[in-house]
Each structure stands twice: as C-alpha cells, then as structure tokens.
Amino acid sequence: MGRTLAGLLLLLCGLPALSWSADEALVTRLKNERACKKCDFQYTDWQGVDLSGVDVSGAFFLKCRMNGVKLTDGRLVWSNLEMAELIEADLSRADLTGADLRQSNLTRAKFTKAYLYGANMAGAKAVEADFSDAFLKGINLTGADLRSSNFKGANLERAVLTDVLLDGAIWTDGKICAAKSKGECR
C-alpha cells in the first residue's frame, strides 16, 4: 500500500515512479538492436542481464540496480550511472569515456582493460574492484573507497586521488598499499 501511494505521489508531482523491474521487451530489444543511445533507464533493474557489446552511450541509468550485469566490450560513453548499484558487474574492456559513476556501488566490479578516460567516480564505493590494465587517465576518484582493489598495470596519469581510501589495494606497480593509505598508495 505504501509503495503504491508513494508511486502515485511521484507521478502526480511529475517525477518518475520507482519501478525497480527490468522491462523484458526493452531488454530483448536492446539485445537484438545492440544499441540504445541516450535512452532513459533510470530506476530500472538490470540485475544479472547480459548486455555484452551493447552501445548505450549517453544513456541515463540513475539509481539503477545492475548487480551482476555483464557489459563486457560495451560502450557507455558519457553515460550517467550516478548512484547505481553495479556490485559484481563485469565491465571488462568497456568504453566508459566521460561516464558519471558518482556515488555508485562498484564493489567487486570488473573493469579489466576498461577505458575510463575522464570518468567521474567521486564518492563511489569500489571495494575489491578489479581495474587491472584499465585506462584511467584523468579520472576523478575524489573520496572514493577503493580498499583492496586491483590497479596493477592501470594508467592513472592525471587521476584525481583526493581523499581516496586505498588500504590493501594493489597499485599499478604491483605494490600493496599500506593500511590507512589515503590519497596515495603508501
């Protein structure tokens, strides 16, 4: 009853209702067409869906549940994934140039060989995430929780690391960051 009333109030106020469910027709269309640029997917549930190789550049995934989603080799250029849940998601070799991942939960997500040039991950939680061999040049990681994450072989040139938690992270050179490493690997 409460959720129905809340949804009705949001609709009456002109705001989108929280559906939290994957639209099977949309998922099928996206898998068949392999692209949906600048689409609005906010508040949807994509948990466990395989979208490998799909181009969703410029798409809006605000607060989406994408736990376990597979977006390997996908294109998410300038996509908005702010406050999304991407726990254990696989974004290996994905192009996330300029993507907005602020305050997203990326715990144990895989970004192996992903391209995140100029992406914004400020305030994100990416504990135990795998960024090995990823291109992270110019990424904003301000205030991100990256404890125990793997950055071996990653390019972090010009990355913003202000207040980043790096305890136990594997750094670009294979060194393990000491406890209380904040803003730099010690």
In Å, what is the CA distance from 90 to each residue of 12, 49, 51, 174? 37, 11, 10, 22
Average pLDDT over residues 25-52: 87
Confidence at residue 10, expressed as pLDDT on a 0 to 100 scale: 33
Strand, helix or coil at 152? coil
Q: Which domain holds residue 147?
A: 1-186
Q: What is the pLDDT of residues 125-165, one digit of tens each?
A: 999 999 999 999 999 999 999 999 999 999 999 999 999 99
Q: How far apart are CA 87 and CA 65, in angstroms?
A: 9
Give the CATH number of the domain where residue 143 resides.
2.160.20
- The pLDDT, as a whole number, for residue 21 is 54
| pTM, rounded to two decimals | 0.86
Structural domains counted in the chain: 1
